[in-house]
Structure 1
């Protein structure tokens, strides 16, 4: 899925492609205190390796992770996964973009492309995002992409760590 870049450099496109074996390097680049400030801090090498293996096990309609490309450069990730939330089966979405590429609309464009894929994979899906309450850029992405703010909640991420998040909801037509 390609989408034209709407940020500062009109000569590059923003696209997403399925996560691959080669993307472990990107995952390691993203494992910084700055990138994980809203998510409980950086992960251990063992946790990164486990995450990478999970990301490679795509099952359309259940879980799919994508690498965000800015031109030919891998600059982040975006994906969806099946989740049980408030007594219903839903999909949770998440994204991250390397700090030097933030602020140019890359995350929003890539998340929109991933939502199009999810919409094709699961018509009628109910989608949630749970950015931290102080993660203003991610909350703005939810608002701009048409999610409805349901309020604040507590979510566990990573396992054993609870964070105060905004609960954003989006429903696809069936």
Structure 2
């Protein structure tokens, strides 16, 4: 829960969250990431999310964001292992459903993920890479305490060039 945003709870991603994955795959939510994924891609993503959340030996987890006190699904968020200039780090990403946007849900959920990553304690840094033209996600990074490192080029999904801001949060602070 977060006192500066909407109260949320993070619940581990499960088999029952496939409908939520479909909902966050909407064109208006996936515009900054190359557009919606195909059904086949969603099935593979669902499998990865469930496996990441179930495997405590692997760094990270995916979560369903639950808006409180309504107890309704508001979106998805997670963190996972990646590398930054050869250093193992966490990366985070989120999607909030349109009816829950603009209310502090993403910021509250991001702060909760920071706490989870900090508690896991495997890596020093957590990174986020919102596209440079995604104002709301860049604002979430700023509000959640990340430091802007600058712009970087990514390819996500494969074949789709993307200009992103690289944000880093030191989990030891």
- Length-normalised TM-score, structure 1: 0.90
Paired residue secondary structure (2:22): helix
TM-score by length of 2: 0.91
Unaligned stretches of 5+ in structure 2?
none
Residue 20 of structure 1: how far off its partner (Å):
0.8
The structure in which a higher percent of residues are helix is: 2
Q: Does 1:67 align with 2:61?
A: no
Is 1:162 aligned to residue 152 of structure 2?
no
Q: 2:15 aligns with which of 15, 18, 21?
A: 21
Equivalent residues, number? 168
Are residues 156 and 3 of structure 1, via their aligned partners in 2, closer, same or farther at CA, if it must alter by over 3 Å? same
RMSD: 1.6
* Match in the other structure for 1:150: 149
Counterpart position of 2:126: 127
- Counterpart-to-counterpart distance in 1, 2:91 and 2:158: 16
Equivalence map 1:31-70=2 (5 Å): 31-57=25-51, 58=53, 59-60=55-56, 62-70=59-67
Contact 1:3/1:15 (8 A) holds in 2: no
SS for the counterpart of 2:91 is strand
* 1:19–1:172 distance in 2 versus 1, CA, 3 Å: same
- Kept in 1, the 8 Å contact 2:2–2:111? The answer is no
User: Unaligned stretches of 5+ in structure 1?
Assistant: 8-12
Residue 37 of structure 1: SS of its match in structure 2? Answer: helix
